[in-house]
Structure 1
Amino acid sequence: MPLPGALAPLRHPVFRNLWIAGLAANTGLWVQNTGAAWLMTSLAPSPVMVSLVQASSMLPVFLLALPAGAIADILDRRRTLIAAQLWMACMGLLVALLTFSGELGAWGLLAITFGIGAGTAAIFPAMAATTPELVPREDLVQAIALNGIGFNLARATGPAVGGFTIALAGVEASFVLATIGFFVMVGALLLWRREVPARSLPPEHLWPAMRSGIFFVVASPGLRAAILRACAFFFFTAAVWGLLPLLVRVRLGLGPDAFGLMLTAMGAGAVAGGFLLPTLAGQATRGTLVFRFSLLAAASLLLLGAWPHWLPAGLGMVGFGFAWIGASSALQAAAQLASPAWVRARAIGIYQLSFFGALALGSALWGMLGEWIGIAYALVLAAILGTVTAVLVRPWRLEPPRASEAPASALPLPDAPAAELAGLLGEDSGRVLEVVHYTVAAADRVRFLAVMGEMRRMRIRSGARVWRLYEDIAHPERFAELWTVENWTEHLREAGRLDAADRATLARAAAFHNGDGAPEATRYLNLQP
């Protein structure tokens, strides 16, 4: 019997095992977050300090997402995930011991929360880049949605478990429970026998890998649009994370069990949204879905801020959870599909750096604003500004443009390196200059230049550090395309980084060449550092 919608990826055993273990680990993470937020209301009960709990858990992702993504692309992702999960378990044990002993202060709590956030910073890009390895492409979007469902199932159960655990056994017990969840994920990762892809070239070094990831994102319009719209959504919705503990305790006058139930209501809305997402995705584009979910999130913020009663607040949290899972799944799917395998963890790391940065900044700023003008006014203002911003960023498209059919053209192919220079070619070589010469009819000049704009983005995405197009002053029908890469090994990596759309762009450019055969391609080695 086929599984419905978002559950279809569970038929793949490794994905299923890691998903179940991830549910336990994420539940533990939400239990820990609930305990930390509630403990801070006793250690330092001010809106700024309480909001800094959320900010300190998200800030490491902002700081470490890019190097973590580069490491996940360079090293074995399974080992990276095991190391990060063990680190989080050690931090969980530490905060439990310090709380038991009564030695934990407000700033110590923030420091350990930051440490746990550092573990999540390493896990997020590695796990996101691993998902396409675990399911076929046709199940990828559903797998992303299912990961969101799992995360929000944890959000639905974790805060409630955390709240009741705090009420029954104290906040230190919640930290112990969270640590157990972290160790469950360690066990599942140890059981996973990942086939490490064979490498024909040596792995990249950390700094060049980070730089390649940045250049790729800069030259990828679809990924830039996903990042912009994610920042616009998460900055304003961060008001909930920064202000919810005080909203429950001060404005609603309720206790830790109610705080857990509010987060459970949000998780329930997110789970419902995750199950409905495949149906909704078939009725509208990703960009349209993100816009609609942004409006729903703004309406939920308005409910939270406008009425000081648990019922509208609970309804607002359900709507907020629905909007959160819908927008975050659509945005992450757009980022995933815009990122090829060789750079996926880095690209997702930069995407996560951006939206977690927006969350961390928004959580802190909305907390400060809540202290200045009041919790209710801050939430209402976030709703209004979030709506305006959603309208402003809507023109940035999340769907890739429809690729035009590539003509049958001979592609430029450089001559093989001379034998006497073979010893100079490798990671330690100087920069490599690559040149392609075109002869283009005057009537085709405008269209050729438009295609060369696509070529520039393609070359930068695949590793070029400098790209230029020159026109012969004496013979304006002649053009020279030049670009440089860091060394010979990076040049060899270029071919493996080109996808079908990139090769179609190469063919369209070559089709404008009026000379005999393909455009002439040459390579030059810089002999002076």
Structure 2
Amino acid sequence: MPFPTPRAFLPLRHATFRTLWLATLASNIGGWMQNTGAGWLMTSLDPTPMMVSLVQAASMLPVFLLALPAGALADIIDRRIFLITAQAWILAMALILAALTMTDAIGPWGLLALTFCIGAGSAMNFPAWAATTNELVPREDLVGAIALNGIGFNLARALGPALGGFAIAAAGPEAAFILNAVAFLVLIVALLAWRRPREARSRMPQEHLVSAMRAGLRFVSHSPAMRAAILRACTFFLFSAAVWGLLPLLVRERLGLGPEAFGLMLGVMGGSAVAAGFALPALRARLDRSETVFWASLLICVAMGILAVSTHWAPAALGMLLYGAAWITAGSTLSASAQLAAPAWVRARAIAIYQLSFFGVMAFGSALAGWVGGRFGVPVALGAAAAGGAVAAVLVRAWRIDAVAGAPPAAAETVAPTPEAPAQELQALLGEHSGRVLEVVRYCIDPAEREAFLKAMQEVRRVRLRSGAVSWRLYEDVAHPERWVELWAVESWTEHLREEARRTDWDRAALARAAGFHRMEAPPEAARFLNVVP
């Protein structure tokens, strides 16, 4: 009798997802080998804590700089071509780094520059790959696929550093760089074999990069679920990044061990993260997402405290074990919350902003830990990160990341007001370059329901601004308190047409609830006005 497939592996039933997942696993293993080689090479080129920690910062800083334009591009052009281009760039940079290392032509700043370039390719890749997951599996397997991506990433983190450490010991850091290039070549082949279905061509013009970026920023700034996920991620990764920046020095100087031990320490962390990934479904059955992140944040602070006082490999390995489990628990929970909070039209951009935020604070946290380590020593830097992380976890605990998925709440029977069709003689003025469009809805409200109506309109405001409005106002008639006027503006007629396509079921329910307060027999009057004066 065959054994049932574990739930964690169910998304691998889908052939395209399985192929790309395995190829991404190979590229992630190569990436961790590259990170291990770069960190260890810097301890030979310039072993100061600041320079060693800057290796980690250089790999993360590109995400802070490029994530938003990368996410916008991934939403408006073919993601398959975009992903292939990003992998080809990483492959080229990895080969250049390997060649310079083999010829002893690399210096500390050259290593940082090429690490930055490889990080730039990864920054372009991250939001596109995360947004692609929804295309590769049906909705019922989406959460499992997101979790499986996290398991794969941490499986790579378990294998990559260990393999990198042995490769460095056997043939030098250049061996790790060459193997990284080979791994990315595997992913390029898999992407070339992927036959992505053609998207239905929209009759509206394609979004431009700058306006697409603005739309992504507006969505995130007016989405409470996305803001909460970003805040919780920033406070978690800011302090936990200290380990990434200081681990090479901890292993080499405080523990007195070599590159094999460095790789094995990272392998212990990755193996623990993989094991925790399989245990997450049981944990989430007991705790909601917000509490899961809170307790994982405290656990990672305990891990950093153990590392701060370790002078022997055994307690240090225990610290890395706890660190890996806490890292995957918080990281995958936050990532799933961010992806579930973003609708399809803005998903890559929203994920990019989420990644921009936490990678930016990781780069800053790694560099800050290096500065503190240089001034006061590695144990003090790790201890301070542990204490700061615990305090931050308590301060942001009230920001909930739970209500970001599921069916929308029941809407009122009333539908949202619909404006009249535009006059035929004005059709020629309506398009991408029409200028701003002012939209108006007039309500007649029972004054006794004023407070409930205002509460409903706060959610309407968020809906309008998430969907593309650049401004929103609500006015009350001072002579007739039952009369209200809602006004909002969008950049062009094309952006107005995109509004409806961008609304989720949650958004439509919120608009219908607000319209349900209207007390006239006729529905609320809706109108649109074109700005004709420059």
- TM bucket by the smaller chain? over 0.9
1:196 equivalent among 195, 198, 212 = 198
Conserved? CA contact 1:304–1:379, under 8 Å: yes
- How far has the Cα of 1:199 moved from its partner? 3.0
Task: Provide the C-alpha distance between the structure 1 equivalents of 2:470 and 2:198, rounded to a whole number of angstroms.
Answer: 29
Task: Provide the C-alpha distance between the structure 2 equivalents of 1:430 and 1:167, rounded to a whole number of angstroms.
Answer: 63
Q: Which residue of 2 aligns with 1:233?
A: 236
- How far has the Cα of 1:202 moved from its partner? 1.9
**SS across alignment from 2:132:** helix
2:490 equivalent among 485, 489, 513 = 485
Conserved? CA contact 1:433–1:484, under 8 Å: yes
Per the normalisation by structure 1, the TM-score is 0.99
Task: Provide the C-alpha distance between the structure 2 equivalents of 1:433 and 1:231, rounded to a whole number of angstroms.
Answer: 37
Runs of 4+ with >6 A deviation: none
2:50 equivalent among 39, 48, 51 = 48
- How far has the Cα of 1:410 moved from its partner? 3.5
2:463 equivalent among 447, 453, 458 = 458
Q: Which residue of 2 aligns with 1:35?
A: 37
Task: Provide the C-alpha distance between the structure 2 equivalents of 1:220 and 1:328, rounded to a whole number of angstroms.
Answer: 20
Q: Which residue of 2 aligns with 1:504?
A: 509
**SS across alignment from 2:345:** helix
Conserved? CA contact 1:37–1:53, under 8 Å: yes
- How far has the Cα of 1:290 moved from its partner? 0.5
Task: Provide the C-alpha distance between the structure 1 equivalents of 2:416 and 2:67, rounded to a whole number of angstroms.
Answer: 37
- How far has the Cα of 1:404 moved from its partner? 4.1
Q: Which residue of 2 aligns with 1:163?
A: 165
1:62 equivalent among 64, 68, 77 = 64
**CA deviation map 1:422-446 (0-9, x unaligned):** 1111101111100000000111111
2:266 equivalent among 263, 268, 272 = 263
Equivalent residues, number:
529
2:140 equivalent among 133, 138, 141 = 138
Amino acid at match of 1:452: M
Amino acid at match of 2:318: L
Q: Which residue of 2 aligns with 1:414?
A: 419
Task: Provide the C-alpha distance between the structure 2 equivalents of 1:333 and 1:356, rounded to a whole number of angstroms.
Answer: 16
- 1:294 maps onto 2:290 in alignment: no
Q: For structure 1, which segment, 82-91 or 98-107, has the greater mean C-alpha deviation from structure 2 after superposition?
A: 98-107
Conserved? CA contact 1:430–1:528, under 8 Å: no
- 1:4 maps onto 2:6 in alignment: yes
Amino acid at match of 1:463: G
Q: Which residue of 2 aligns with 1:470?
A: 475
Amino acid at match of 1:277: L
**CA deviation map 1:263-318 (0-9, x unaligned):** 00000011001111122122211111101111111111011111211001011111
**CA deviation map 1:314-366 (0-9, x unaligned):** 11111111111110100001101110000000000000000001100000000
2:454 equivalent among 440, 449, 453 = 449
Task: Provide the C-alpha distance between the structure 1 equivalents of 2:196 and 2:386, rounded to a whole number of angstroms.
Answer: 45
Task: Provide the C-alpha distance between the structure 2 equivalents of 1:307 and 1:80, rounded to a whole number of angstroms.
Answer: 45
**SS across alignment from 2:286:** coil
Task: Provide the C-alpha distance between the structure 2 equivalents of 1:266 and 1:357, rounded to a whole number of angstroms.
Answer: 22
Conserved? CA contact 1:464–1:485, under 8 Å: yes
Q: For structure 1, which segment, 515-524 or 208-217, has the greater mean C-alpha deviation from structure 2 after superposition?
A: 515-524
- 1:349 maps onto 2:352 in alignment: yes
Task: Provide the C-alpha distance between the structure 2 equivalents of 1:196 and 1:221, rounded to a whole number of angstroms.
Answer: 33
Conserved? CA contact 2:409–2:506, under 8 Å: no
2:410 equivalent among 405, 408, 432 = 405
Task: Provide the C-alpha distance between the structure 1 equivalents of 2:346 and 2:232, rounded to a whole number of angstroms.
Answer: 21
Conserved? CA contact 1:5–1:275, under 8 Å: no
Task: Provide the C-alpha distance between the structure 2 equivalents of 1:138 and 1:300, rounded to a whole number of angstroms.
Answer: 35
Amino acid at match of 1:288: E
Conserved? CA contact 2:475–2:484, under 8 Å: yes
Name the Cα RMSD after superposition: 1.0
Amino acid at match of 1:67: P
Amino acid at match of 2:422: P
**CA deviation map 1:466-518 (0-9, x unaligned):** 10001112211101100000101100000011111111111111111111221
Conserved? CA contact 1:100–1:172, under 8 Å: yes
Q: Which residue of 1 aligns with 2:320?
A: 317
Identity %: 63
Q: Which residue of 2 aligns with 1:520?
A: 525
Q: Which residue of 1 aligns with 2:102?
A: 100
Alignment of 1:357-372 (within 5 A): 357-372=360-375
